[in-house]
Amino acid sequence: FRFKDSLAEDLRRADLVISHAGAGSCLETLEEGKPLIVVINEKLMNNHQLELAKQLHRDGHVLYCNCSTLVETLQSMDLSTLKPFPPGQPEKFALFLDKAVGFK
Q: By C-alpha distance, which of 62, 51, 52 is closest to 85?
A: 62
- Give pTM, 2 decimals: 0.81
Name the residue with higher pLDDT: 42 or 79: 79
Measured CA to CA, the distance from residue 67 to residue 79 in angstroms comes to 19
Instruction: Answer whether residue 102 shows pLDDT above 90.
Output: no
Instruction: Answer whether residue 79 shows pLDDT above 80.
Output: yes
Task: Please give the domain boundaries of the chain with CATH numbers for all domains.
Answer: 7-101 (3.40.50.2000)
Per-residue pLDDT of 2-46, as tens digits, reads 888 888 999 999 999 999 988 999 999 999 999 999 999 877 767
